[in-house]
Structure 1
Amino acid sequence: MSIAVAPRHLRTLFLSDIHLGTRGSQVDLLLDFLKWHDAETIFLVGDIVDGWRLKKSWYWPQSHNDVVQKLLRKGRKGARLVYLPGNHDEFLRDYLGTQLGGVELVDSIVHETADGKRLLVIHGDQFDVVVRHAKWLAFLGDGAYTLALGLNTVLNKIRRRLGFDYWSLSAWAKLKVKNAVNFIGTFENALVTEAKRVGADGVVCGHIHHAALHDDFGIRYINTGDWVESCTAIAEHHDGRLEILRWSAIAKDEAFVVDPDTKVDQVAA
């Protein structure tokens, strides 16, 4: 960052789908983001570590370790850290209900915002039919996704040299495929239904790498996005307002970047 600005202090920060252990993880941007954002509570909403990829081939550069250390350092300074494992780091589900290094491990949790809204926080793979009932297909899709991310990396190296911002080829392709768009809608509806079942006012999830914040199903649906394609997080301000934060390599002269697709009433709600 090129200007001296105090880190932005939030009430709550929601991060998911970092996929440490993969070459596609945008750890440099995440480290930059964490440098400029502090929070009283940090929810790690699954797929923080990619156990699937690490089982196939070990990839863990120092920058990935730096992310872990950065998060743990925030915990030592007083932030509450809550980890909700996803399908890619499902090995941690063997330790639900315990604390590891000061990090709470839970499958789901209800978070109350500053303005009294109750939000169900859960990774979301529990409501993905492919992951639950056809895991072999999920693994196959993961291989194709990894190939797309490899192409994405090459493309964005060229874009950076030309002075352009980060852009996700895989995210663009997903939203251009009708079945993918239908899947997102079905997934969102399933998560909202679960939130209603437990008596929550909304849901915060990850899993599908598609940041969103809306009330299309009658209650608040919030998806954190990811740090592979979109480089997004969800912030709760001290008055309970929620917003999508989008971090990019171009954001060198700003303390933060708000997702331009977020509606005004969503930011203020």
Structure 2
Amino acid sequence: MMTDAAHRYRTVWISDIHLGTRGCQAERLLDFLREVECDTLYLVGDVIDFWRMRRARYWPQSHNDVIQKLLRKARKGTRVILTPGNHDDMLRGYLDHEFGSVLVVEDTIHVTADGRRLLVIHGDQFDSVVARAPWLGHLGTHANAASQLVNQWFNWGRSKLGYPYWSLSGYLKHKVKHRGKFIHNYETALVDEARKRGVDGVVCGHIHFPQIKTVDGILYFNDGDWVDNCTALVEHASGELELLRWPEPIVEARSAKVVPIAS
């Protein structure tokens, strides 16, 4: 049974939390988890960044609090399903097992209240860089960690001047040459997979680029991340879907009939 909360949804999708890294916005995620209740919570991969933790130990109390909050939701009746990503791929050795009432699956099909069938998958399997040259993915992880460290100091300075949080690392990512083509290819690959499986759409993460769009009749939802964007995809009781940037809503997606989020 759901407890009193400021926001109630039928379903919530979050991904790319990257616990165990300095870039993780654990405090903002904790605030989100305290304020939001749902029947089903999908953790769409890269919840814990085992890649980074193999090289450097970083686990503040807030990261532990996130894990405890997720497990508490599962114990209190929220259906919690985790689809592993490339940064927590070790969990793929435990598919179809439950940990603290959290079910681990490679991917799954979610049926919305209005009957649409959505493939839920992290999406790293459709990233050509990760699939063909895993070492480049690890190299990118190290570069990303460096940018997050700079971002941390940058926002410390902003907070001292009274300015709100702003993701410098996220801004730099979106300015990288050829990123637009990479995102397009990634979206196309996920849409093609959804079409092959005979579903209405796909919910994924992985590229830290929150998005809602329709591609050739297939719905594409990317729930974003909790490093640069602090976003979640939510389903209302009616089956309508909305993409949120916590704590502010960024765009409504009534039946997914929306334009892409402005960068």
Q: Same fold (TM over 0.5)?
A: yes
Q: Which residue is equivalent to 2:245? A: 246
Q: Which residue is equivalent to 1:85? A: 84
Matched residue type, 2:119: L
Q: Give aligned-pair identity as a percent.
A: 52
Matched, 1:259 2:250: yes
Q: Which residue is equivalent to 2:157? A: 158
Q: Which residue is equivalent to 1:21? A: 20
Deviation at 1:98, TM superposition (A): 1.2
Matched residue type, 2:169: S
Q: Using the TM superposition, name which of 156-165 and 13-22 deviates more.
A: 156-165
C-alpha distance in structure 2 between counterparts of 1:142 and 1:217, whole Å: 32
Matched residue type, 2:233: I
Q: Which residue is equivalent to 1:177? A: 176
Q: Which residue is equivalent to 2:217? A: 218
Deviation at 1:242, TM superposition (A): 0.6
Q: Which residue is equivalent to 1:252? A: none
Any unmatched runs of 5+ in structure 1? 248-255
Deviation at 1:129, TM superposition (A): 1.4
C-alpha distance in structure 2 between counterparts of 1:44 and 1:143, whole Å: 23
Deviation at 1:267, TM superposition (A): 6.7
Q: Could you report, residue by residue, the CA deviation over 1:162-221 in whole angstroms, capped at 9, with x for unpaired residues?
A: 332222122212222331111011100100110011011000000000000111342110
- Are the counterparts in 2 of residues 212 and 223 from structure 1 also a CA contact under 8 Å? yes
- Are the counterparts in 2 of residues 242 and 268 from structure 1 also a CA contact under 8 Å? no
Matched residue type, 2:213: H
C-alpha distance in structure 2 between counterparts of 1:225 and 1:69, whole Å: 22
Secondary structure, aligned partner of 2:250: coil
Matched residue type, 2:196: R
Q: Which residue is equivalent to 1:38? A: 37
Matched, 1:168 2:167: yes
Deviation at 1:100, TM superposition (A): 1.3
Matched, 1:9 2:14: no
Matched residue type, 2:75: R
- Are the counterparts in 2 of residues 242 and 267 from structure 1 also a CA contact under 8 Å? no
Matches within 5 A, 1:88-103: 88-103=87-102
C-alpha distance in structure 2 between counterparts of 1:105 and 1:264, whole Å: 30
C-alpha distance in structure 2 between counterparts of 1:74 and 1:116, whole Å: 26
RMSD of the alignment, in Å?
1.7
Q: TM-score by structure 2 length? A: 0.93
Deviation above 3 Å: which 4+ runs of structure 1? 262-269
Matched residue type, 1:97: D
- Are the counterparts in 2 of residues 11 and 41 from structure 1 also a CA contact under 8 Å? yes
| CA spacing shift, 1:134–1:268, aligned 2, 3 Å | closer
Secondary structure, aligned partner of 2:184: helix
Q: Which residue is equivalent to 2:232? A: 233
Q: Could you report, residue by residue, the CA deviation over 1:236-265 in whole angstroms, capped at 9, with x for unpaired residues?
A: 011011111101xxxxxxxx52114x5677
- Are the counterparts in 1 of residues 5 and 34 from structure 2 also a CA contact under 8 Å? no
Deviation at 1:62, TM superposition (A): 1.2
C-alpha distance in structure 2 between counterparts of 1:268 and 1:193, whole Å: 20
Aligned residues: 256
Matched residue type, 1:49: I
- Are the counterparts in 1 of residues 118 and 202 from structure 2 also a CA contact under 8 Å? yes
